[in-house]
Amino acid sequence: MNYLILIRHGQSKWNLERRFTGWVDIDLSENGILEAKKAGTLIKQKNLVIDLYYSSLQLRANNTLKIIQNILNDSKEFTRAWQLNERHYGALTGLNKDEMIKKIGKKKVHEFRRSWDIKPNPLSKDSPFHPINISTYKDLPLNIIPNTESLKETYERVTKYFNKEISKYLKNKNVLISAHGNSIRALCKFLFKLDNSQISNLEIPTGNPLIIRFDKNHEIDNCEYLDKKNAKDLLVF
């Protein structure tokens, strides 16, 4: 049997401030560091050897993974891929979620956050929050850097990368992916064959490893969140 572990990064500083983050490269909060350490401890208790590690280009996911590897005493290099980045929230980037609820209403904010193919207005390229103005993305071709994204568009880039670069290894290796709420939602939609209404209700907790076990036929035969306490109100398969 082989395993895929999906983990959303620990709480970031902007998660704490309830701001739309997207492609802005924000680091972990103090609580996020603790969440990553706890995740590493929970994974270590499974006594699994992780063969391959993947992460987005973003600091919060990278640092979560480094903390986990440190606890596992594993110094393997990990692969960083922009395709695993968080969804780009367009003109919402940097704004406070609660303030936006007051301004445009809870229903509209939920629609922007959870709908399948609706996306916010594009973010101005003059904004310091636009990826073209963030050094993390300086080596990316301009034509692949989004101004805004729907979950559908995020799903397309995440699953294309997963199918091309990762899924082949799940036949005989254990893989861990440290990514983001929406990139992991996209993977869950793909792996568990969720419809568009199910994906709108799927919440991904910070710092809680989702471990997926594959049988000898390479089909999913079990999955669970390792931190049961923080998964009790979530859609768990």
Ranking 70-74, 118-122, 123-127 by mean pLDDT, the lowest is 118-122
Q: What is the pLDDT of residue 201?
A: 81
Q: Above 50 in pLDDT, residue 236?
A: no
Averaged pLDDT, 137-146: 97
46 compared with 233, residue with greater pLDDT: 46
What are the tens digits of pLDDT across the range 45-59? 999 999 999 999 999
pLDDT at 164 over 60: yes
* 14 half-sphere exposure, CB direction, 13 A CA radius: 18
pLDDT of residue 135 exceeding 80, the answer is: yes
DSSP 123: P
**Residue 198 pLDDT greater than 70, yes or no:** yes
pLDDT band at 231 (very low <50, low <70, confident <90, very high): low
Q: Say which amino acid occupies 224.
A: E
CATH entry, 2-89+150-231, from 3.30.70.100, 3.40.1010.10, 3.40.50.300, 3.40.50.1240? 3.40.50.1240
Residues of the chain with pLDDT > 70, as a percent, come to 97
Based on the residue annotation, tell me whether 219 is a catalytic residue of this protein.
Answer: no
Which residue among 35, 86, 88, 130 is the active-site one? 86
**pLDDT, tens digit, 9 for 90 and up, residues 18-51:** 999 999 999 999 999 999 999 999 999 999 999 9
How high does pLDDT run on average in the chain?
Answer: 94
Lookup: tokens for 165? 């670069």
Q: Please report how many Cα atoms fall inside a 13 Å half-sphere around the Cα of residue 116, on the Cβ side.
A: 7
Residue 4, C-beta contacts closer than 8 angstroms, at least 6 positions apart? 170, 174, 175, 176, 177, 191, 211, 212, 214
CA distance 141 to 147: 13
Asked whether the predicted pLDDT for residue 232 surpasses 60, the reply is no
Query: Active site includes 86?
Result: yes
User: How many other C-beta atoms are found inside a 10 Å radius of the C-beta of residue 99?
Assistant: 12
Domain locations in the chain?
A: 2-89+150-231
Catalytic residue among 9, 88, 130, 180: 9
203 confidence band (pLDDT: 50, 70, 90) = confident
Residue 237 has pLDDT above 50, yes or no: no
**Quick one: pLDDT at residue 106?**
87
What is the distance between the alpha carbons of residues 84 and 62, in angstroms, rounded to a whole number? 11
C-alpha to C-alpha distance for 82 and 55, rounded to whole angstroms = 8
Contact 183, 87 (CB under 8 A): yes
- Per-residue pLDDT of 68-116, as tens digits, reads 999 999 999 999 999 999 999 999 999 999 999 999 898 888 888 878 9
